[in-house]
Structure 1
């Protein structure tokens, strides 16, 4: 039952927002009593924290799988972007903003976990790109992996990128292209152009 509560809660928080969803809403959607939820979680804050890291773990597993089966570092980045966007419903409810505002402790812990995970992922991606000649050998891997993370967090800032002007999906695609062009060789640029042309809507 705990797993079901986590799955449903995470889905509702992402779709409707962390602030909007109540314990009553979750209980009703699962057809259980609120008391059942409290048998597993102390309060809403505890449930939010558990659901966020449950979701994060699932996303990390998916990303690890994509990295394992991918031979093309440029396509890998776009596949990860699509996987995360689909998983988070393209973040239409601004979960990042709501989590930061209403559950700052959970947000800060998640940010540290995301940094560690993304730095490992991007570091391996860059090494893979250098090995196959798509990324430049002189790229400062540690610097680029940190800049990449900083940028991915930055494009979620709704004051800088208002959601009525910029969609998260479009922002991520533009940022990915920006990142790849900054570190790619001529071969990498051609692979990028080819991938973008083949995947136009």
Structure 2
């Protein structure tokens, strides 16, 4: 039952937001009593924490599987982006932003885990890209990897990018283009252009 509650709560939180979904809403959606939820989770904060970590684990696992395919590093960046966006429901309810605002402790824990995961993943991507002559060998790998993470976090800041003005898919596409054009070699730029042609 605990897993079912986490699954349903994740769906509701990602679609409607952590703040607006109540324990009553979850109980009604599942056709169970609120008491049943409280048998597994002491309060809503504990449930939010469980769902946030569950989403992170699922995404981290999916990213590992994509990286294991050993694809062209530029293609890999876009494949990961599509996977993450799909799992976050295109961030309709801006989950990261809501976590930061209403559950700052959970957000801080999650951000630490995301940083660790993304730093490793991006570093490997950059190393492979340089080895395959797709990225310039003069780039500072650690600097670019940290900058990449920081910019990804900034995209979710609604004070900088209000949702009514910027959709998350557009922001992600624009940022990846910006990131890749900044690090690609001439060979990499040809690959990037070819990828765009194939996607259109």
TM range (shorter): over 0.9
The aligned residue for residue 95 of structure 1 is 95
For residue 70 of structure 1, report the CA deviation from its aligned partner. Answer: 3.3
Q: Which residue of 2 aligns with 1:28?
A: 28
Partner residue of 1:2?
2
User: In structure 1, what is the equivalent of residue 48 of structure 2?
Assistant: 48
1:51-90 → structure 2 map (5 Å cutoff): 51-90=51-90
* Aligned counterpart, 2:139: 139
TM superposition shift of 1:92:
1.0
CA positional deviation for 1:164 = 1.3
Q: Which residue of 1 aligns with 2:115?
A: 115
TM-score (norm 1): 0.97
Pairwise mapping of residues 102-181 of structure 1 onto structure 2 (< 5 A)? 102-181=102-181
CA RMSD of aligned residues (A): 0.8
Show CA shifts across 1:64-88 (max 9, x none). Answer: 1011113200010001001111111
Partners of 1:197 and 1:170 lie apart in 2 by 18
How many Å separate the matches in 2 of 1:44 and 1:101? 15
Q: Secondary structure at the match of 1:39?
A: helix
Q: In 1, Cα distance between the equivalents of 2:2 and 2:138?
A: 49
Q: Equivalent residue of 2:32, what SS?
A: coil
Q: State how far apart, in whole Å, the 1-side matches of 2:197 and 2:7 are.
A: 36
Would you identify which runs of 4 or more consecutive aligned residues in structure 1 move more than 6 Å? none
Unaligned stretches of 5+ residues in structure 1: none
Instruction: Name structure 2 gaps, 5 residues minimum.
Output: none
Q: What TM-score, normalized to structure 2?
A: 0.98
Q: How many residues align?
A: 200
- CA apart distance, 1:18: 0.3
| Cα deviation, residue 129, structure 1 | 0.5
